[in-house]
Structure 1
Amino acid sequence: MQFRSIIRIVGLLLALFSVTMLAPALVAFIYRDGAGFPFVVTFFLLFTGGASLWLPNRHHRRELKARDGFLIVVLFWTVIGSAGALPFILSKTPDLSITDSFFESFSALTTTGATVIVGLDDLPKAVLFYRQLLQWFGGMGIIVLAVAILPVLGIGGMQLYRAEIPGPVKDSKMTPRIAETAKALWYIYLALTISCAAAFWLAGMSVFDAIAHSFSTVAIGGFSTHDASMGYFNSPTINMITVVFLLISACNFSLHFAAFANGGIHLRTYWRDPEFRAFFGAQFILFAICFAMLLQHHSYDSYNDAFDQALFQTVSISTTAGFTTTGFSDWPLFLPVLLLFSSFVGGCAGSTGGGMKVIRMLLLFLQGVRELKRLIHPRAIYTIKVGNKALPQRVVDAVWGFFSAYALVFVVCMLALIATGIDELTAFSAVAATLNNLGPGLGEVAVHFGDINSSAKWVLIISMLFGRLEVFTLLVLFTPTFWRN
């Protein structure tokens, strides 16, 4: 284990993260809301801390192995999540406890979107912008950004990329060089953000709200600058724009790169991808069920309202964004539970969405079909194919292992929540909302997480990390094999 090289890289990444504090400080200066001081103090503290880690180890440049990459990613998300809590701790508005500050920071960076803050409409613009900015950086992953712009990471880039990028197949690169791959991802991410902000502004949002909500939409985070979330704007046009960009952001970014590569537009690239087809097929089925149920129960006065709400909530919850336009927990109970379960699937691999990813669920389905065939023809040999390409058995085994670990983490976290005194419905939905990086839940956490006890919040912080790092990246650190030479 190259510990000094790891400390050097973590120091560099911490110093890089400190620069993000200047953006909300600038917002505070523009709007003169008096909330810039905590961000300036945090900038100096984090920059000094990062430099103190980097300077003594600046000459230790060793080739990183896979396990070094896993440790760097886990350390970074833990350190940055903790560092991100400093402005909340130092700010007088909102007046958060240390536990709530850590919860809000980790929720933002992991793009969970679960909040403990009430009264968003009255908060300083700088604090609101900071929450959105954390989500935006967390969406694509600051590690991927660092690989793109810090050549000092050098040879270890692939290890960091493999540990950070979600999905079952970790070794696929869009370009020959890993730094170029990371840059391509961020160019796509930035282009989507600018397009989304422009669309929101043209639809009637203020410049501040348009930029802020584009951050959380493309990151599939779900934070808003208003307590009523997207319902504040009461605009079917804004709802539709949100749906479109959530769907785009929930697709594999490699598909976006392939579709617009070489200066052309190749839309067939999307339809040829089995995961893309499965994703949109599931979205259509979910929407049809929600729309039919809302009409049957006369939940809304018109077909247009029912259509708008069903489409928005279906896409928002199933892609793990967590934006709301209405209290979907007040719908017929079948629908909130159905949508909560849909968040376990989440977005596509290589997207900013949470959950277990569509490709994994597709592979589990194909494996189940294969086992049924084997019951009828025990001696036959069946291969699992995705897009006419046979997958190695190792990938299928890895998916089963991931599913088992995901279920185990879910059960342990839920039992831990119940042990803190949380009721069963709230515990189930809270773990589902945090492990899937969704945000809103049911019961006591249907609107916000501010009323649950501090012990439960720390359990949910761990759940967020497991969800953002896709379980194995964090779980592997607890195995004796990982620490052996």
Structure 2
Amino acid sequence: MQFKVIQRVLGLLLMVFSLTMLPPILIGKVMGDPDTLPFWKSMALLLAGGGLLWLPMHRQRGELRSRDGFLIVVLFWVVLGVSGSLPFILSDAVEISATDAIFESISGLTTTGATVIVGLDGLPRSVLFYRQELQWLGGMGIIVLAVAILPILGVGGMQLYRAETPGPMKDAKLTPRITETAKLLWYIYLALTVLCTLAFRVAGMDWFDAVSHSFSTVAIGGFSTHDSSIGHFDNSAIESVAIVFMLLAGVNFGLHFMAWRNASVRGYLRDSEFRAYALMMTGLVLVSTTYLFYTETHAELSQAWRHSLFHVVSIATTTGFTTTGYSEWPGFLPVLLLFASFVGGCAASTAGGMKVIRFLLLVKQGIREVNRLIHPNARIRIKINRHPLPEDVVQAVWGFFSVYIAVFVMFMLVLMARGHDQITAFSAVAATLNNLGPGLGEVAGNFASMDDFSKWWLCLAMLMGRLELFTMLVILTPAFWRK
């Protein structure tokens, strides 16, 4: 393990992150916020802390190995989650404890969207913008951005990319060079953000809200500048814009690139994961609309369609925006939507959850086992996009699914041992491990009522969900630390 090189890289990344305090400072000056000093102090502390880590090791060079990459990614997300809380702690406008500040920061960076802050409409614009900025940076992954710039600083990036990129097929690259791949992903991400901002502005938002909500929409984060989320605007056009870009952000960004390069949408239609993603969304919307109309929750079919469409897309993609209290919907619908967040969006998207491709492989594996009972001697291969998959990929998916369920149960049991009821414990873990945000029961609106231990426990769940479990779990194994 190259600890000196790891310390140098961590110092560099912290110094780069300190620059993210500049946009909130600028917003504060433009919007007339009375005090931007917390952001100046935070930037100085992060710059100094990063410098202290980097300076003693600035001459250290060495090619990063896979183990180094895993450790850097885990350390960076943990350190960054804590460091990102500094403006909340130092600001007089946000009266929350250090635990709440760290929870809010980690929730933002992991694009979870679970909040402990009440009274968003009365906060300074600089603080509101900073919350949205955290989600935008965490959406595509700060490490992927770092991969694009670290080679300039003399640090290789392939190991960081493999440790950070979600999905079962991490070695797939859009371009031969990993740096170019990282840059390309960010160009697509930036283009979607700009288009989303313009669409929100045309639909009726002011520029501040349009930029802020485009950050959390494209990042599939769910933070809003208002306590009532998208419901604050009560505007069907704004909801339509959010639906479109949540759906786009939940799609594999590689498909967006292929569509742009080939000037054709055929790539979407030919992709097995995208077809499963579209089918899942369509089925959920039809079921929700029918049930809302049948139970007379909404007397008009158009209203049932409007609310079900928005919330299905928001919850299933793990964004977490709301327009009404979906947790109060009748029957099985709230739990159905919560289960949809376990699937989440596509691999190589900004969505959370286990990813559609994994569930598709699980279904195909289940069908294969049934067919083997009928034809014991048949050799049946599992195919994605008409290409057979190696058996080790299928086995890895089963392993991931097993670990995911085991981790979920462990987190839920601990919350129940802390005195939380079953609905609250189940939904709180689902909302954080899937990087969703809103839950049910006590956490339907926010997580402010949770005790400090539970918040720290859920912070770990958010980090594990963002890093897809194995990146975090691998550093806990004795084999990882052996030479």
TM-score normalised to structure 2 length: 0.99
Hey, what does 2:172 align to over in structure 1?
A: 172
Hey, what does 1:147 align to over in structure 2?
A: 147
Change (3 A) 1:154 1:374: farther
Hey, what does 1:298 align to over in structure 2?
A: 296
CA distance in 2 between partners of 1:117 and 1:259 (Å): 40
Change (3 A) 1:332 1:77: same
Kindly state the Cα deviation for residue 190 of structure 1 after the two structures are TM-superposed.
0.2
Hey, what does 1:418 align to over in structure 2?
A: 416
Kindly state the Cα deviation for residue 303 of structure 1 after the two structures are TM-superposed.
2.0
CA distance in 2 between partners of 1:92 and 1:166 (Å): 37
Q: Give the letter aligned to residue 446 of structure 2.
A: H
Aligned with 2:327: secondary structure? helix
Q: Give the letter aligned to residue 117 of structure 1.
A: I
Aligned with 2:387: secondary structure? coil
Q: Is the 8 A contact 1:35 1:127 kept in 2?
A: no
Q: Is the 8 A contact 1:147 1:153 kept in 2?
A: no
Hey, what does 2:189 align to over in structure 1?
A: 189
Hey, what does 1:43 align to over in structure 2?
A: 43
CA distance in 1 between partners of 2:91 and 2:351 (Å): 30
Aligned with 1:9: secondary structure? helix
Change (3 A) 1:154 1:378: farther
Kindly state the Cα deviation for residue 134 of structure 1 after the two structures are TM-superposed.
0.1
Query: 1:238-288: CA deviations, max 9, x gaps?
Result: 101100000000000011111111xx4121011010000000000000000
Q: Give the letter aligned to residue 65 of structure 1.
A: R
Hey, what does 2:115 align to over in structure 1?
A: 115
CA distance in 1 between partners of 2:124 and 2:22 (Å): 15
CA distance in 1 between partners of 2:454 and 2:316 (Å): 24
CA distance in 1 between partners of 2:413 and 2:463 (Å): 17
Q: Is the 8 A contact 2:9 2:155 kept in 1?
A: no
Hey, what does 1:408 align to over in structure 2?
A: 406
Kindly state the Cα deviation for residue 154 of structure 1 after the two structures are TM-superposed.
4.9
CA distance in 1 between partners of 2:211 and 2:35 (Å): 19
Q: Give the letter aligned to residue 304 of structure 2.
A: A
Hey, what does 1:436 align to over in structure 2?
A: 434
Q: Is the 8 A contact 2:150 2:156 kept in 1?
A: no
Matched length: 483
Kindly state the Cα deviation for residue 93 of structure 1 after the two structures are TM-superposed.
1.2
Aligned with 1:381: secondary structure? coil
Equivalences for residues 35-74 of structure 1 within 5 A: 35-74=35-74
Hey, what does 2:274 align to over in structure 1?
A: 276
Hey, what does 1:244 align to over in structure 2?
A: 244
Q: Give the letter aligned to residue 448 of structure 2.
A: G
Q: Is the 8 A contact 1:69 1:156 kept in 2?
A: no
CA distance in 1 between partners of 2:188 and 2:62 (Å): 31
Q: Give the letter aligned to residue 469 of structure 1.
A: L
Change (3 A) 1:153 1:254: farther
Q: Give the letter aligned to residue 279 of structure 2.
A: G
CA distance in 2 between partners of 1:302 and 1:29 (Å): 46
Hey, what does 1:124 align to over in structure 2?
A: 124
Does residue 315 (structure 1) correspond to residue 313 (structure 2)? The answer is yes
Kindly state the Cα deviation for residue 28 of structure 1 after the two structures are TM-superposed.
1.1
Q: Is the 8 A contact 1:2 1:68 kept in 2?
A: yes
Hey, what does 2:449 align to over in structure 1?
A: 451
Does residue 86 (structure 1) correspond to residue 98 (structure 2)? The answer is no
CA distance in 2 between partners of 1:235 and 1:473 (Å): 41
Q: Is the 8 A contact 1:9 1:153 kept in 2?
A: no
Aligned with 2:342: secondary structure? coil
Q: Is the 8 A contact 2:150 2:157 kept in 1?
A: no
Aligned with 2:297: secondary structure? coil
CA distance in 1 between partners of 2:415 and 2:3 (Å): 35
Q: Is the 8 A contact 1:25 1:36 kept in 2?
A: yes
Kindly state the Cα deviation for residue 22 of structure 1 after the two structures are TM-superposed.
1.0
CA distance in 2 between partners of 1:348 and 1:390 (Å): 19
Q: Is the 8 A contact 2:108 2:134 kept in 1?
A: yes
Equivalences for residues 245-394 of structure 1 within 5 A: 245-261=245-261, 264-394=262-392
Q: What RMSD over aligned residues (CA atoms) do the two structures have, in Å?
A: 0.9
Query: 1:419-446: CA deviations, max 9, x gaps?
Result: 1111111000000000000000000000
Q: Give the letter aligned to residue 371 of structure 1.
A: E
Does residue 135 (structure 1) correspond to residue 135 (structure 2)? The answer is yes
Unaligned runs of 5+ in 1: none
Query: 1:325-371: CA deviations, max 9, x gaps?
Result: 00001111310000000000000000000000000000001111111
Q: Give the letter aligned to residue 217 of structure 2.
A: T
Moved more, 264-273 or 229-238: 264-273
CA distance in 1 between partners of 2:196 and 2:294 (Å): 34
Unaligned runs of 5+ in 2: none
Query: 1:24-59: CA deviations, max 9, x gaps?
Result: 111111112123110100000001111111111111
Q: Is the 8 A contact 1:143 1:164 kept in 2?
A: yes
